Structure 1
Amino acid sequence: MTDEENSSAATTSSAALNHHQNHLSLYDDDGRPKRTGTVWTTSSHIITAVIGSGVLSLAWSIGQLGWIGGPLVMLFFSVVTLYTSYFLADSYRVGDPINGKRSYTYMEAIDNILGGKNFIFCGIMQYANLYGTAIGYTIGAAISMMAISKADCIHSSDGKNPCSVSGNRYIIGFGAIQLIFSQIPNFDKMSWLSILAAVMSFTYSLIGLGLGIAQVAENGTFKGTIAGAEAETHAKKVWAIFQALGNIAFAYSYSNILIEIQDTIKSPNEGRTMKIATKLSIATTTTFYVLCGCIGYGAFGNAAPGNLLTAFDKPYWLIDIANLALVIHLVGAYQVYSQPLFAFVEEQVAKKWKVVENEHKIQIPFLPSYNLNTFRLVWRSFFVVVTTFISMLIPFFNDILGVIGALGFWPLTVYFPVEMYIKQKKIPKWSGSWIVLQSLSMFCLLVTIAALIGSVAGVLLDLNTYKPFSASL
């Protein structure tokens, strides 16, 4: 072989090697496209999932528990959520935290570590919870849009018109928005939406906090009592405490999508990044929760409303901004909770019919090209339409969501993470660590049962005045 031929062969070999290396740089160790998530994108996903409209009900919750019980319960659940989230983060890879087998979903983590019927039980709890949350967020967003419309109507009439507002058109409007956003292919492509939603959650929380501080200043004192709001009977007091415990516990819950969020983090050592993001996010949300809850209770005392924003009617434009920020946040939160369900269905269907993986590139003017998947378009649109219809049919679904949340809190946030941690770390039965972890699990089970009782009671009360398609404000 001549020198020229040797040189040509070497050049070809070098080009092939470079091409192979460039190809590998686009993919992770499991052959999937390279994940790009960071501490900040992960934190935005978590904050979007955790700081929901539930933050506005925390003043009422503290009102039922009192000045001592309320903050203590909030801190307790923040610590529980933090440590069980650490357990879950360690469950993303089986065995070796760097090179172990990945679990792409919560269900896969259960299957890989615990196996058996746990897999099926987890799937039912997780996806029922995700679907119920999507419906609850649709109703919550509609209520905020109705509040904006009603406030503007009352203001324009100088308070002479009570302005009753129907919610169906707002539910449909929110559904139409989700028809578009539901076509975002996966978690990894929606970091920008999560960041926007996280900013919006801070916006309405800060407005609620600011209005509460102004009300405290106007009152000249902090209202509220050590024991919290009084009730007509002891039974009703216990009832209210159950509901408050449930509200606070579920306000921290995002475990049902933690593994899916962790699967967006770039290698190596995704567990370490997830723990840092979790610590940052839980610290941030706890600070906001304690401030909003305590300031709201201090402003209105035992008369604190279920939604802090409804306690204010001036300045109406600032309250409108808060409600608008809440709507934008719920647009992103809806997607954060729906994407795992979308991915699960599409993965199961793809195993049987490969045709669902076919994509068609569409060039959109002034925007990057979009890969249209026909199955994704039809299935996700169907999901949004059904969600929207149920939201109109049962406008008190937030209480049913409380039932679903109560059923899902203990198994998804505490039981499974604890059991996977015990299995992975090989903690001996009846050892000190085992007893502490099981005691924590049992206590949280009791809280779940109490919250479930309160939520079921709320649904029964709603059924007494139930009218289909009757959402109004």
Structure 2
Amino acid sequence: MPYSVRLCGMIGGFRFKICGLMQFLNLFGTTIGYTIASSISMMAIKRSNCFHESGGKNPCHMSSNPYMIMFGVTEILLSTIKDFHQIWWLSTVAAIMSFTYSSIGLALGIIQVAANGVFKGSLTGISIGAVTQTQKIWRTFQALGDIAFAYSYSVVLIEIQDTVRSPPAESKTMKNATRISIAVTTTFYMLCGCMGYAAFGDAAPGNLLTGFGFYNPFWLLDVANAAIVVHLVGAYQVFAQPIFAFVEKQAAARFPDSDLVSKEFEIRFPGVRSPYKVNVFRTVFRSCFVVLTTVISMLMPFFNDVVGILGALAFWPLTVYFPVEMYIKQRKVERWSMKWVCLQMLSCGCLVVTVVAGVGSVVGVMLDLKVYKPFKTTY
């Protein structure tokens, strides 16, 4: 069982089961969001080159389905990697790619603002008229979910800590890593978001990099979008591995004598000294998991709305409620003390954010489904 789910055992009882269920649902949903996001970036690369070659004469409409399938096939291959200990290099590459595309997006945003000579947009967001008052409310709620999605790292934070070597103590290493990563990530994403809105105003796209056009410098945009794809390839594995580990350990415990579950078959390749070990259950289950997330992504390729739903589902229960309850139990915080009341107020406030974000994102998906034809709509 993943360490983060075992940690939920601190609160015990029925809440332990709900905590574990929410953990896995969020991990599963995040892999869907990453599949959608990667296809958007791959399509952006294809369209930029199409526009460049045709001089803007070709509208370059295309379906996202082939790109999701390409991403899924890649993930099936990477899913043969057994556990976290073997994908440290993938996480490192993903982190470098994240820094790359964030830097390019921020730089292009600053350049676009300078070219405009004015800050577009307003402090209150999109104007009434461009959208109705009701639509603006739903979009505002959805935006809260998009922001909350940035906290999804908390789900795998403890999983990563469980793989850190000691000494020094794992908790000490992770505290330092968390401080640095949160500071850098918050700074970059806030700058990218603010400069992107300042550059495009109400017309700011969901993927900032697609808003700079498809001409100059089209090659730089290709680099940035390629970096996003590589980043998401690694991120998908980080979020999928805890699910893989849980299901496979449960299967091994239930069927200890089954060769399909426990036996490793060796496959030798010419020129390779060490044999490649394959487990039938692991290969089949992981492949089916990737296929399922890919098909769901193809049915609902609405990045902003899906991200909003994922952020809403994970934010309050996993980032606020359960950690707060664990802290109260671990530190034995007295009921109705000042600290207890403040923690409960924080939890209630975040619950409100989760509810309104979830409602706004669900409404967004429902509106998208009215005009979207599964497997047929092109962009």
TM-score by length of 2: 0.92
Cα offset, 1:400, TM superposition: 4.0
**Counterpart residue number, 2:51:** 154
Cα offset, 1:415, TM superposition: 0.3
Cα offset, 1:332, TM superposition: 0.5
Deviations 1:202-240 (A, max 9, x none): 111111111111111212233333333322454443333
**Counterpart residue number, 2:182:** 282
Is 1:346 aligned to 2:244, yes or no? no
Contact 1:136 1:398 in 2 (8 A): no
Unpaired runs of at least 5, structure 2: none
Change beyond 3 A, Cα 1:162–1:172: same
Matches of 2:300 and 2:288, distance apart in 1:
18
**Counterpart residue number, 1:304:** 204
SS of residue matched to 1:371 = strand
Tell me which stretches of 4 or more aligned residues in structure 1 moved more than 6 Å: none
Change beyond 3 A, Cα 1:410–1:351: same
Contact 2:206 2:304 in 1 (8 A): no
Aligned-pair RMSD on alpha carbons?
1.9
Write the letter of the residue equivalent to 2:183: A
SS of residue matched to 2:277 = strand
Matches of 2:221 and 2:370, distance apart in 1:
32
**Counterpart residue number, 1:216:** 113
Deviations 1:134-153 (A, max 9, x none): 12211221121112111111
Matches of 1:300 and 1:247, distance apart in 2:
18
Deviations 1:357-412 (A, max 9, x none): 32234445458653322221111111112222222233337634532431221000
Contact 1:147 1:323 in 2 (8 A): yes
Matches of 2:210 and 2:193, distance apart in 1:
14
Unpaired runs of at least 5, structure 1: 1-102
The correspondence for 1:413, drawn from 319, 322, 330, is 319
Change beyond 3 A, Cα 1:286–1:433: same
Cα offset, 1:349, TM superposition: 0.5
Change beyond 3 A, Cα 1:225–1:396: closer
Matches of 2:365 and 2:221, distance apart in 1:
29
**Counterpart residue number, 2:8:** 110
**Counterpart residue number, 1:357:** 262
Higher mean C-alpha displacement, 251-260 vs 284-293: 251-260
Matches of 2:35 and 2:363, distance apart in 1:
22
SS of residue matched to 2:56 = coil
**Equivalent residues in 2 for 1:75-224, closer than 5 Å:** 104-111=2-9, 113-224=10-121
The correspondence for 1:246, drawn from 131, 141, 145, is 145
The correspondence for 1:294, drawn from 161, 178, 194, is 194
Change beyond 3 A, Cα 1:153–1:226: closer
Change beyond 3 A, Cα 1:368–1:413: farther
The correspondence for 1:424, drawn from 315, 330, 334, is 330
Matches of 1:394 and 1:216, distance apart in 2:
33
Contact 1:392 1:470 in 2 (8 A): no
Matches of 1:242 and 1:192, distance apart in 2:
37
Matches of 1:190 and 1:367, distance apart in 2:
21
**Equivalent residues in 2 for 1:18-57, closer than 5 Å:** none
Deviations 1:81-118 (A, max 9, x none): xxxxxxxxxxxxxxxxxxxxxx842221111x111011
Cα offset, 1:417, TM superposition: 0.4
- Based on CA coordinates, which of the two structures has the bigger radius of gyration? 1
**Equivalent residues in 2 for 1:438-453, closer than 5 Å:** 438-453=344-359
Deviations 1:46-70 (A, max 9, x none): xxxxxxxxxxxxxxxxxxxxxxxxx
Change beyond 3 A, Cα 1:366–1:316: farther
Deviations 1:335-360 (A, max 9, x none): 11101111110011011112423223
SS of residue matched to 1:252 = helix
Deviations 1:116-143 (A, max 9, x none): 0112111221112211211221122112
Matches of 1:182 and 1:292, distance apart in 2:
32
Contact 2:106 2:195 in 1 (8 A): yes
**Counterpart residue number, 1:34:** none
TM-score by length of 1: 0.74
SS of residue matched to 1:388 = helix
Higher mean C-alpha displacement, 462-471 vs 356-365: 356-365
SS of residue matched to 2:13 = coil
SS of residue matched to 1:403 = helix
Contact 1:135 1:397 in 2 (8 A): no
Contact 2:141 2:360 in 1 (8 A): yes
Contact 2:313 2:358 in 1 (8 A): yes
Change beyond 3 A, Cα 1:162–1:358: same
Matches of 2:121 and 2:299, distance apart in 1:
38
Contact 1:104 1:263 in 2 (8 A): no
SS of residue matched to 1:226 = coil
Contact 2:91 2:234 in 1 (8 A): yes
Matches of 2:62 and 2:231, distance apart in 1:
22
The correspondence for 1:258, drawn from 133, 142, 157, is 157
Cα offset, 1:427, TM superposition: 0.8
Matches of 1:332 and 1:171, distance apart in 2:
15
Change beyond 3 A, Cα 1:321–1:328: same
Matched pairs, number: 370
Is 1:375 aligned to 2:281, yes or no? yes
Contact 1:395 1:468 in 2 (8 A): no
**Counterpart residue number, 1:467:** 373
Is 1:396 aligned to 2:293, yes or no? no
Matches of 1:367 and 1:258, distance apart in 2:
35
